[in-house]
Amino acid sequence: MRIRLTHLFPFVLLLATACVYRQDIPQGNFFKPEDAAKLQVGMTREQVQFVMGTPMIADPFHPDRWDYVFYVDSQEDTRDHHQRVTVFFTGDVVSRLEKEGLEETETPTGEEGILID
Tell me: the pLDDT tens digits for 5-42?
677 777 776 666 666 666 767 777 777 888 888 999 99
- The enclosing domain of 94 has a CATH number of 3.30.1450.10
d(CA 105, CA 103): 6
Dihedral of alpha carbons 92, 95, 96, 97, sign: positive
Total domains, the chain:
1
pLDDT in tens, 48-63: 999 998 887 777 888 8
Element (H, E) at 35: helix 33-37
pTM: 0.65
pLDDT band for position 107 (50/70/90)? Answer: low
* 6: in domain: no
d(CA 52, CA 30): 9
> What range defines the domain where residue 69 resides?
26-100
Contact 66, 23 (CB under 8 A): no
